[in-house]
Amino acid sequence: MARENSAGTSLDPATRYALIVLDGLADRPHPDFAGRTPLEAAETPHLDALAGAGQLGDVIVIGPGIAPESDAGVFALLGYDPVVDSPGRGVLEALGLEVPLEPGDVALRMNFATFDGEHRVLDPRVGRSLTTSEASALAEGLTAARLLDDDGIDVTVRASVGHRGVVVLHPRRGALSAEISNADPFYERVGGMGHARSSPDRRLRPVMPLDHSPEAARTAAAVNRWIDRALGVLAGAPVNGRRALAGRPIANGLLLRNAGQIGRARPTAFAERHGRTGAAITEMPVERGIARWLGLSDQYVGPMGPDRDAGYRARAQKTIDALATAPFVYVHLKGPDEPGHDGNPARKREIIESIDRSFFGPLREGLAFDRIRIAVTADHATPCVVKGHSDDPVPLLVTGAGVTPAERPARPVKFGEAAARAGALGRRTGAQVVATLWQAAVP
């Protein structure tokens, strides 16, 4: 029997749904594109066609003045409160990397970075040239050094993708607490949520306890000692010697943020909260960790390979296959975020065009949109002029089954920030996105 909303419109209960998150998609007008954003400057015939058949709006992902990290943005878009429902970025990274965690452990997200002699961050990503194998060698060296043996704490360092990784503290005696501040000067922690600081001091920050417990004081002091000792290990690492001889930036710094523990109560699983089971197609460990934390079926595909178009075609086919069986599918594509951080609008436009051509093109061919509804949005904005996350609104497109198309415009719809701002869906919050997706009639 069809489900009805208060307006009396109906939607077949067999309808399937997809939330497609394009990481860091939103941007600001750029002088290289005559005042258009990279998305508006990109050739996106497939997204434009989907927009013309659906409805547009825009989204304040968390709230005004809050530039969320990706994990916080995804929690909000999936209908959760990242402050209270997230266990912390460190835990999510560890879950995504399958690092074993016990309830007393503390996990932190880590970046290898390049520092000057005063612990000022010259590059938080080592020029984005540190390979995963190099990072793994550095991580193994830090783990083997057993830098907190005198405090009864084992430390596991695990590299993930490129400069990224996770640090896990395992207490052999006593207790630890995740209620500590970030050493990373670029991000601030609020509960389980991390968000970008505006105009940060680029010097490494001392880690401080966030409550008055002896466990938090012990953990903060231990993390500070570990960082100080770890910097000495990195200074003598063979990987950095080889990089210096080759004239490449060295990974002589560490940025730690968003500590967490798994002992806290988990939020209501996605299926119970929304009445639909779901699958997650993700590229990065943190989004894989979110899927596991919320009980979504894990269909991890890993980072993009050298052939981007082939990678997006493969992800499109995986999405089509997942929608054949799963009532809901969450898809996360990392692509647009990195050139935003790098301040490279041409590269961002190029990646958006590849996503349109090789992901949304096959989706349009392979999905029956009379039985499937999709939402396309972003977890945050990463403006090229900012070179980081911002609180700018992000576009939202909803199209497919039961969606009433916008009135026929004078010219074809161009999917982008300006069109989204003027769209019939209006402005919504991140927490309203899945509710919008479920609505029997949109708008």
Q: State phi, psi for 285 to the nearest 5 degrees.
A: -60, -35
* Confidence grade of residue 408 (pLDDT, cut at 50, 70, 90): low
Query: What pLDDT, in 10s, does the model give residues 253-266?
Result: 999 999 999 987 78
* Confidence grade of residue 89 (pLDDT, cut at 50, 70, 90): very high
CA–CA gap between residue 394 and residue 219 (Å, rounded) = 37
18 and 372 in contact (C-beta within 8 Å)? yes
Could you give the C-alpha distances from 54 to 27, 356, 373, 399, 432, in angstroms and in order? 22, 16, 10, 4, 17
- Rounded to the nearest 5 percent, the helix, strand and coil shares of the chain are 35, 25, 40
Query: What pLDDT, in 10s, does the model give residues 328-356?
Result: 999 999 999 999 999 999 999 999 999 99
Give the residue, 193 or 12, on which the prediction is more confident.
193
pLDDT at 105 over 90: yes
- In the predicted model, what is the mean pLDDT of residues 76-91? 95
Give the model's pLDDT for residue 410: 60
Give the residue, 33 or 4, on which the prediction is more confident.
33
Q: Is domain 9-86+266-438 annotated with CATH 3.40.50.2300?
A: no
* Confidence grade of residue 1 (pLDDT, cut at 50, 70, 90): very low
- In the predicted model, what is the mean pLDDT of residues 203-209? 97
Alpha helices, DSSP H, located in 17-88: 38-41, 45-52, 70-77, 82-85
Share of the chain above pLDDT 70, in %: 96
Give the model's pLDDT for residue 443: 66
Question: Given the DSSP bridges, would you call strands 328-333 and 278-281 parallel, antiparallel or unpaired?
Answer: parallel
Query: What pLDDT, in 10s, does the model give residues 17-40?
Result: 999 999 999 999 999 999 999 999
User: How many Cα neighbours within 13 Å face the side chain of 222?
Assistant: 30
* Confidence grade of residue 318 (pLDDT, cut at 50, 70, 90): very high
Closest CA to 99 of 21, 176, 154: 154
Query: What pLDDT, in 10s, does the model give residues 148-170?
Result: 999 999 999 999 999 999 999 99
Give the model's pLDDT for residue 406: 73
Global confidence as pTM: 0.93
Identify any residues that bridge with 330 across adjacent strands, giving them in sequence order.
Answer: 19, 280
Q: Which residues are CB-neighbours of 422 under 8 A, at least 6 positions away? A: 56
Query: What pLDDT, in 10s, does the model give residues 43-57?
Result: 999 999 999 999 999
Give the model's pLDDT for residue 11: 58
- In the predicted model, what is the mean pLDDT of residues 236-265? 95
pLDDT at 94 over 90: yes
CA–CA gap between residue 378 and residue 396 (Å, rounded) = 8
Spell out the domain ranges in the chain.
Answer: 9-86+266-438, 90-260
* Confidence grade of residue 409 (pLDDT, cut at 50, 70, 90): low
Q: DSSP strand E in 187-300: where?
A: 187-190, 193-196, 253-260, 278-281, 297-298
CA–CA gap between residue 218 and residue 226 (Å, rounded) = 12
223 and 169 in contact (C-beta within 8 Å)? yes
CA–CA gap between residue 317 and residue 396 (Å, rounded) = 23
Which residue type sits at 372?
A: I
CA–CA gap between residue 414 and residue 157 (Å, rounded) = 45
